[in-house]
Structures are given as structure tokens and as C-alpha cells.
Structure 1
């Protein structure tokens, strides 16, 4: 597995789990990649800035401009299949929080600014080196507790991903950590009751949730091999954080293939 140097603009973290297959996460250097937040701009200027940022990102990925598929994320556990078409042309994105490419050939993106971006790749059972279905998922508190990751893995296996050791790998990208994600005590208790690994305490001693640990627990329990960026979006200013700067921007988790 080839891992690129940290901070290789526009990517905070990028790996190549198989030749031509890429997993990456952006930071603030890539610019705001969401049309529903405007940062310091407004109106048409904000939209033009986001479109330009998406184009620059696709140039760095080596995919056709406008080809990457995005979602309208609503903190759900809904998973939808890729449609083989991207964001260009003014198409309205579908409401869901996970996206699966059955062929593994569609460039997929998921937007975050503290919630977990989770990128998954797979191989068909017993076929080393062959790329299977791929997916991206937005695992915020609600989506994680409601089963977005379980639903995504189930869909990958429906589409042909293997169920053996290492057949599905997941990368948990930059997200708010369990030392920083302060929540009311009833919310911590609810999370820990559903996924015990989410129960946490902030570095200043108040109730918290550890979403990366919870996602790791869920995925590992499903037989998925998990990798972590280890970067906290609230602590590290190279990533967007809704808690630190609401409305400034969104980063993305990505998976794509470059054809030989």
C-alpha cells in the first residue's frame, strides 16, 4: 500500500491501496467544497468559488471535471448507489449519507467538518489485487448510531465485496476526537448504550463522544480492516471544523480510480 506524504496539497492524507485506486481526504488548502456553506463569500461568488475548488481538486485527482459524485447529506443511515454521473450540469444531489459504486470505478466524495468521513474499498472474495465495490460514508453522531456504516458494508457485500479478512478496508479520515467532542450527559449515555466505544470524556473533564472509536468498533465487528488518520479537526487548523468556525467550509473524503 503506497501512502503519500502528509500535507500533499490539496490532500491532508492520501493512500493508494491498490495500483490506480486512491483514497484521500482534503483540508482547508483545497478550499470549501460544499455549495450549502459560503465561507467568507456570498451568493454567486460563493458558488463560483466552490465550483472552482471542486475543479482544482478533480484536476489533482486526475479525473474529468464535474465527474465526482456528491450527496445532499442529512445525518441519516441511508445508502444509495452511484449513478455514474457527477455534480456538473446543475444536477441536484440525492439525499443520503453513504454512496456505493458497485464497479469501483465512480469517483465518490463525502463532505465533513467534524463528523467522520469514512472511505471503504473492497475486493471480490478470494481475488487478491482485484478492485471490488467502493463507498464513502458520512458518520456523524446520528448516522453512526442509526447504522450508516452497517448499511454501507451490507451494500458493499450485496454488490460483490468479499467477506474474508482484509476483503473490505476502511479509512476513517480527519474528524473531531473523543477528547474534544463535548456533549450533554444524556447524549453520551445514549451513545454508549448503543455503541459502548463512543463513551468518552473531554480533556477538561466533561461528557464527550468518541466517534472515531465508535466507528472502529462497528467496522471491526463487521470484519472490516480499519485505518485512522488520527487528526482532530477541532485541534488541527489544517482541517475545517464546524465547532471552531461554523459555516467556513467543508472538506471531503474521496475514493477514485485512474484507469491504466
Structure 2
């Protein structure tokens, strides 16, 4: 099942949950991650199902090999499977090209400047937050002609700051870089709120966050969570612009 937002500007943002695919347990059902141990044929079938639900060509979605860094790739089309680089953000100036992020607790960040025709997608886990992958993605978009104040930013389902327990020294290391990420679990131990940190980094870059997902992956049985299950599938978040500037349908939920 896929939730999708159509912005009146022609920007599209979509987030999957775990249902509606063909993968067997523990990856059931709509696992979209190709590096978690699932049958590659099931992953391929799931990616095709998700793309078709979104009205996209499955062969024209840009994926990444995510490594928790800050490297950004500028793309004008999908890579061959053997050539997918190790990056944690992608940006494009090509309308209609969908960019995808895989997560199972990390924060997916989707960005679009519909006026300039520039989109970006970033994978922000704790290491990526500290490394600055989101500001790097915004910078790459700006170099292509985007303006931060025009960028529409969405964050997707992620582990919340009340559930992401870490050692106290790790929380301090993160908070030294992004103070807004400091948190405490609902049971009173040190924690990190990656989404709050991402929101602060976007604001510092001049990007207004239009909408955050309030879905905690660890708490939701409808979403994959590495923290909860360890061996599990991956969700996907997608961003793309309509081929025609300004073409949109208002906001809608699928």
C-alpha cells in the first residue's frame, strides 16, 4: 500500500508501507530493498508493483547503494544495476524521473523545487545526519538552479525520538553537531531524534519543511523496522516532478 501526495505545483511524494507485495516472511510483503537477503525475484516484482501503482516506469526509477555517508550523485536517468553508486542522496534536473530512498528506521528526505524543475532524495540515518547528507543534497540542488526557499520538503516514516535509544555518549556526539536531535526515550534513556535533526538542518539551509510523517516505524506493525525486527524488509520513498511544470491535482492520498 502506498501513500502519495500530489502537490499543486506538480511535485509528487510517495511512501510505501509493508503490504501489497509478494515477499515471504520475514520480508513480507512489499520489501523493496535488494540487499537484505530477500529473493531478488520478489524484490523485482515488488518494485514493479510499486512503480505501476504510482504510474511510473519501473525501469526508470533511480535507486542508490546507501552507505550512511554524505555523498550526492547528480543523475539524468537510472543506472544499470551493476553501476549503482554508493551514495546517500541523488538530485536531478530531469522532470518525470523518480528518485527513491530505502529505509527501515532512517529518515527518508524528499525535496522538490518545481519552479526550477529540480528534485532530490536523501537517506538520513544517524551517521548521515551527523555527516550532513541533507545539507549536501540541498547544496547540490542549488548548484543546479534550485532556490532553498522554494524547495518543498517531506520526511517519511522513521523511528521517532522516543524510540531510538542510543548510549549517552553517542547522543552527545550527535547533539554536538545537531543539538535539535537530542532526545529521551519514553522509558527515560538517552535517544536521538533523527527527523528533528533533519528538520533543523533543512531550516538552517533555508528550506521550509512542509510536512513530516508522524509515523514511527518501530511502533507501527505496518512498516518495516530494523530496530524492532533486525532481519526485515525496506520501505521506499519516491519523489518526482510532473513532465509539465505546474501540472498537479491538489493534494490526494492513495
Do Structure 1 and Structure 2 share a fold, with TM-score over 0.5?
Answer: yes
1:22 equivalent in structure 2: 12
- Which one of the candidate residues 78, 81, 85 is aligned to 2:78? 85
The range that moved more, 77-86 or 113-122, is 77-86
- Which one of the candidate residues 88, 100, 112 is aligned to 2:103? 112
* Structure of higher RCO (CA pairs closer than 8 Å, 6+ residues apart): 2
TM-score, length of structure 2 as denominator length = 0.88
2:195 equivalent in structure 1: 212
Measure the CA separation in 2 of the matches of 1:18 and 1:82: 25
Q: How many angstroms does 1:145 deviate by?
A: 0.7
1:99 equivalent in structure 2: 90
Measure the CA separation in 1 of the matches of 2:82 and 2:50: 19
1:127 equivalent in structure 2: none
Matched, 1:158 2:148: no
Aligned structure 1 segments of 4 or more residues deviating by more than 6 angstroms = none
Matched, 1:202 2:185: yes
Confirm or deny: 8 A CA contact 1:77 1:96 kept in the other structure. yes
Measure the CA separation in 2 of the matches of 1:14 and 1:137: 18
Confirm or deny: 8 A CA contact 1:118 1:170 kept in the other structure. yes
1:246 equivalent in structure 2: 230
Kindly provide the CA deviation profile for residues 188-244 of structure 1, in whole angstroms up to 9, marking residues without a partner as x.
Answer: 011111111111110001000011111111101111111201110000111110011
Measure the CA separation in 2 of the matches of 1:198 and 1:239: 22
Q: How many angstroms does 1:38 deviate by?
A: 2.7
2:33 equivalent in structure 1: 34
3-state DSSP class of the match of 1:249? coil
Q: How many angstroms does 1:64 deviate by?
A: 1.5
Matched, 1:121 2:98: no
Confirm or deny: 8 A CA contact 1:66 1:86 kept in the other structure. no
1:63 equivalent in structure 2: 56
Confirm or deny: 8 A CA contact 1:74 1:97 kept in the other structure. yes
